[in-house]
Structure 1
């Protein structure tokens, strides 16, 4: 029991669409709070505990007071309705504001853990999960298969779980001084050297093949370096400054991640859309805000 407290209660409900005998799981896109298939520009303000969401479906503003300044952001689709839910991790306690199922408080993990929710068992529901730096162990409360623990990584690593093998399940992974170490649920162990120790890993599906690509943001020159999984083509794009917070996501809804940064000093977002290579700029947030799409960028 990673929390030492037990009492884990995770909703088993998820939404399916049935066509004849086939079943389709509704999967939420990264930081998509309104379910339109696009990442929403959004921030969390530690000063007041508010989430400020600019929902792309209706071009409307949504504000939710949920959390305190010391919380770690942990948004994910916990109820399987295709919309990302507001959630925070606080010293071993998870607080969820689910769009379909409402509020839930769950004890899982301990102080010092890093929350990394996601669909590790492939059922369309985000699973509550933490990575514990002190022992390099992933503790996962799978919504379908129960609790599991996987020792993968060591203190000093940066967690970068994603679906690297394209089987619909998140794979535990860590970034270590330019080395990528992945425990793929289908493909097994994989390692690759890509990036420098000081780079920021910015995992995402940049080529739209449903597999996470190796990618880093180098703040010293504001450049993104990406290795596409579909064809192993290398790409480098200068986009951003050293003070920016890289916040990749699918902002235009074309199925591929876009390069994006949040510039805290001015509260501006800059998005380079993959569908048309156009630049989107939006003032959203103030200095001190946390970019929600960057919640799991280590």
Structure 2
């Protein structure tokens, strides 16, 4: 049997193929990175990292490329394939990440960490490195996580609510300045029109989600799915009765949480208490 020939020189690996297409379209249009960045309104360094395969960015950037080049949903499709690539992300996260990019609303309760969409670079790096990632893999994971936050920075961001248990705010990072930046970012995020940040204080007492990190994704058409996770595994829950039970528990947590205004004051107090880096 004759050997099967490769019909294209383009990469068959999804992440690399996405990077190749970002560069090919730019060069075909005779644009520099700076010129393309000016047209799209994105940072040129981000576009450079896209072309080198160092980051995937978020769906908003892929859609911006499609609009500019008139490629329908081609770049968005390549982005989705790259995100879903099992060599880049664990199986348990792949379907969730695709749904997260489509969601019209996200409601989150964090019992141990800040939601990935509102994590700063320093915070994400310490959390991911604590899970054992090092070197280039660590850099890729941090870039991918930060790319998720671009959804909230788009022209039509989803409604986003996060309720953080006080323990999340008490677990400071080793990097003092990075921890202050994360607290400051939460305050900025909480001031955005479609974003709500609340704190569940220790004084609220026992609550139904005491061992559960959960995110509810409201999808177009009115369907809601839930994603629960711990340090070892995540589970996408689509069965309506199970989602309803989790939502009832979430509602009870929200009733116990501080109001958005009280939560902002609480985070501000945490910021005042956070130690400064003596070198700054």
TM-score, structure 1 as length reference = 0.22
Identify the structure with bigger relative contact order (alpha carbons < 8 Å, sequence gap 6+). 2
TM-score by length of 2: 0.23
Whose strand fraction is larger, Structure 1's or Structure 2's? 1
Q: Which entry has the higher C-alpha Rg, 1 or 2?
A: 2
